[in-house]
Amino acid sequence: MIPRFEDFEPLLSEEQIKARTRELGRAISRDLAPASDLVVVGVLKGSLVFMADLIRSLPPDVTCDFLRLSSYEGGTESTGSVRFDFDLTQPIAGKNVLIVEDIVDTGLTMSFLLDALRVRKPRELRICALLDKPARRKREVPVHYKGFTIEDRFVIGYGLDLEGRFRNLPYIAALTHEAQARLRAEADAARERSKQQ
């Protein structure tokens, strides 16, 4: 069963996220100068809200671009398959490129993206992720700028969705431990039933 909004509890407040985003913006501005050579690449749709705030902490002459990948086929578990839905609109050879993601979870999406962009010969290729869930990592990826490290919990809000919903929540909420346990038990029971058939 898909969890409902009532199954979530607040994890990171708007104020916490805003303050951390400003710090990240300062570090990025310092490291990836000149800003006129910086292309900020948002991975849609999850980075939407975070990127909108982050770029307002960067110098005025950065450029922005977007790409879209599919890795999650719905629900709360990664399927592991990644593909481009659409790509950047400009070449990135010789540019400083900052990939902006909502969350690095298994790392499958990001390692696919790094491989795909590295061959285009950017000068620098760095990753900025609002959230890092290292407990579930399957591929090592360097997260150069990281908002918050979180434990293994499914989160929504501030761009992150559950089956397309809750991206517009202005803060981040996590599935309660009780709801997570209930969902795991339901999934186990369903697996058992399908084994017996």
Binding site for ligand IMP (CB under 6 A): 46, 71-72, 78, 101-110, 154-155, 160-161
Chain centre distance of CA 103? 3
Residue 38 or 172 having the CB closest to ligand IMP: 172
Among ligand IMP, Mg ion, none, what binds residue 78 when CB lies within 5 to 8 Å by partner kind? ligand IMP
Residue 72 or 145 having the CB closest to ligand IMP: 72
Neighbours of 30 (CB within 10 A): 8
| Neighbouring-strand partners of residue 70 | 83
Coil, helix or strand for 82? coil
* Tokens 């990171």 belong to residue: 12
Task: Compute the Cα dihedral for 11, 13, 19, 23 and give only its sign.
Answer: positive
Q: What angle (nearest 5°) sits at the alpha carbon of residue 141, between those of residues 44 and 168?
A: 25
The token pair that represents 177 in the structure block: 């431990």
Q: How far is the CB of 46 from Mg ion (least distance, A)?
A: 3
Q: How far is the CB of 24 from ligand IMP (least distance, A)?
A: 17
- Name the catalytic one among 7, 53, 105, 161: 105
Chain residues that interact with Mg ion, rule: CB under 5 A: 46
Q: How far is the CB of 122 from ligand IMP (least distance, A)?
A: 20
Q: Is 105 among the residues known to form the active site?
A: yes
Question: Annotated active-site positions, please?
Answer: 105
